[in-house]
Structure formats: structure tokens, C-alpha cells
Structure 1
Amino acid sequence: MSKLLVIEDDADTLAVIQVLLSHGGHEVVPATDGRSGLRLLHEHKPDVLILDIGLPVMDGWQVLERVRDISDLPILILTGRGQEREKVRGLRAGADDYLVKPFSRAELTARVEALLRRAGAASWAEDVYDDGVVRVEPATRTVFVEDQDVHLTPTEFRLLNTLVRHAGNVLSSSQLLSLVWDDPTGLSPERVKFAILRLRRRIGGDLANSPIEAVRGVGYRYRPPAQRQDGREAVSSRRH
């Protein structure tokens, strides 16, 4: 049975979510403000967090920041704030998904189930990827950059693992949404953009030297050191 922490201050909405997800076979842990929600997070260690933004005591943005400091927990923001800038802010801050109220019961259930699938054991290839700079070990879900252990969230790990398994090839945002987020609709490309930005920061290097390259109008690709070196040599030879 999966355990879901729901931090929602509206009693009616919280009751609906509890009934809906409990009937789906999940254990629901309710909280009505951000501070008590964080206490329950430490106590219960849930599988998914469903988080409202307009919370008393400590708002959802503060909760999201605190959770991301200590946990890789998949987070679904559930809020009445549907403006694009709010969605962008949530994804940039590390949320895995964003659902606007009012929502359908079927959609909420589908979003939660997708997060649970991604949070569980994924069917990655077990071969270790190592190009001399970046090393990805799927069995232990660890990543090393120049022999330094790098902490990634589950989504960031899946994204990097997908990119290195297709090293040198360009993957579109739609392909990445399907492979990493289990979202075949391709309706949230901004999710990919901000996850790529966070991943670049995690593995180091400035934009010009990042192994993760944006191909304008197409998508993204991981370029191993040998390919990046070949590219620099090609540019150098053209200049001379």
C-alpha cells in the first residue's frame, strides 16, 4: 500500500482527496498547514506528497523548498493558481507535477499513479555508464562526476540516465516526457526545460561546457567527452 501525504487547508477538498485516494488502495496522511505537514513528512516518510500552495502558518512554496532540501519525494502541487508563471515557479522549484483546481477525480488519480510508478523501481538497463567524466550506476542509482558523488532527485536521475543511454542522439521534449515522466501526451514541455536546467547545475560546468546540449527547435542530447573534444577540434580547424 502506498502512503500519500496531503497538505491541504480546505476541509472539503481534503475530504474528497482522502476518500478518492483511499478507495484507490492508498493510505492517506492528511495535514492542514505547512508546519504540521513537515512534521508528518518526517514521521511517515510518504511515497508522494500532494501539496497545496495557499497554506496557513507556512505556505506551500516554503514547504516545497524545505522538502527539496531533505528529500527526493515526488511532489504534486494541487492549487487554484493556474497562471503560467505559478506553474513555471513550481516546476523550477522542484515539483514533479502541477494540477490546477478544480480537478477531475480521474485526472488526480492518474497523476498520482504516474508519480508512484516513477518513484518505484524503474526498469533501467543495469549496465554502468562511464565516459571517464560522468559515471551512472543504475543498480544503486548513484552518479559520479569526475569521481565526486552527485546527489540527484529521482526525476533528475531518470533524465540523466535516459540522456546518457542515448548519448550523441537528440531526444525531443515529447520523447523525454514519455521516457522520463511517463507522459506520452507531450503537453508539458516546460517541465523538461526546467529539469534540464536543474540537472546541468547538479553535474556542474557552465552552459558552454555542459555535456547536456540544447539543440534549438529539436530537443536535447548528452555529448560524451570524446564528442565534445571532436567538436572543439573541428571548430578550431575551421578557424585556421
Structure 2
Amino acid sequence: MSEAMLTVKDLNVAYGGVQAVRGISLEVRAGEITALLGANGAGKSSTLLAIVGSVKPGSGRVTFEGQDITAQPPEALIKKGIAMIPEGARVFARQSVEQNLHLGAYIVRDQAVYRQRLQQVYALFPRLQERREQLAGTMSGGERQMLAIGRALMSGPRLLLIDEPSLGLSPLLVEQVFDALAELNRQHGLSVLLVEQNMAQALEVAARAYVMQSGRIAIEGTAAELAASDEVRKAYLGM
């Protein structure tokens, strides 16, 4: 069994008087895709934002490769090997595809490493190479999601956190994005924490999963166990 790369312990997050996350614990193992699932408002995004330091948790601890990173700013985490793709595939709309990718590599000083990563991104998403001079703001939602993933990969992360990659995409594009995540995990050993409402799709690529409900972990287990569970199928997968 792989050792834990990221560990979240007893995490609490509140906004004003609203408790969004209630004492949850989870882990992402090295070389695995782990899914954090649940309906809108379950507390998934709040958990992710607390992990990367965009929101300060009320209590709890986050460790990465044995080092306490609780409430460290996002820019410090990039240097440690953690990349975050927020919900909505945010890209620099007035910059070209290649300029966006270049901005994702701002911590990379070695030009040979930069060129190698650029070619890896283009091999993963040929459409980005075809449109490398196109302004990002003129691209489709699916293309922007590919660009957001590609930009995050340019920093050379060992752990990728991605929030709702299927949001607003057609089923075909959702499949392409999830195929790319599976390929990154399989070919490059990239560890992924995938936050998703689309549970059926997420369980196809994940090794393990947690289901959140009202700020708590309601169910956890392997993806196969959750996909086969009558409780999960009825309550969360709509089957």
C-alpha cells in the first residue's frame, strides 16, 4: 500500500457563523487519484481551499510528505510540488495559450526543463499546441479546462488538486479531461485529489474516494467499494 503523501486531520473551516467543514480527516496516497465527492454545498471546495492556504482553517492540521503545511500560502506550496486548479478553469483571457503555459512555469529556471514540460503538455493536449497563439479568452470551456491543467503541470507538481473539472462541460469533453488525469497518473505517477459532483465519472478514475455531506465525511472506501455500494448508488449516484 502506498504511503500517505497528503494528510488532513480534524479540519474545521467556518465562514462568519457558518461551519462549512466539520472535523474531517482524509489522505491522498502517493501515486493515486483520490476523489472527494458530494453535492454542491457539501464542503468540498472549502476543504480544498483550506488545504492550499487560501482559507485559514479554524482548527486541524494539513501535512505534505510529513511536513506541516497548515495555512501556508498557495505560492509556497507550488515550490513544494503542489499545484491547484480552481473551479471554473480560470485562465488569463487576454494572454495566448503559450503565454498562459509560460506563466505556469514561473518557478522554472532551467530552459531545457521548461521546453520538456511544454512538449509534455502539448503531447497530452494536442489541441493546445494547434492553438498555441490563440487568446485563451476565445477558447471553449473544455479547451480552457485543458489549458488550466496544462498550466498547472508546467510547475512540475507531484500532487495536483483540481476542483470540479467537469463543471459546465459536455459529456465528451468531460471524458477527455478525465482521460487526461488518468493518463497523468498512469504514465507519470502524478498524485491527484479530485473534487467532483460527477461521482460516477470520478469513481472510474479514482483509486479511493470520500463522500462529503453537510461538511462531514459520510462514507469512505475504495472507488470500487463505493461504486458497488447500494447506499452510495441510491443516495449519491441516482441509481
One fold, TM greater than 0.5? Answer: no
RCO higher in structure (CA 8 A, sep ≥6) = 2
Which structure has more strand as a fraction of its residues? 2
Give the TM-score normalised by structure 2.
Answer: 0.31
Decide which structure has the larger Cα Rg and report it. Answer: 1
Which structure has more helix as a fraction of its residues? 1
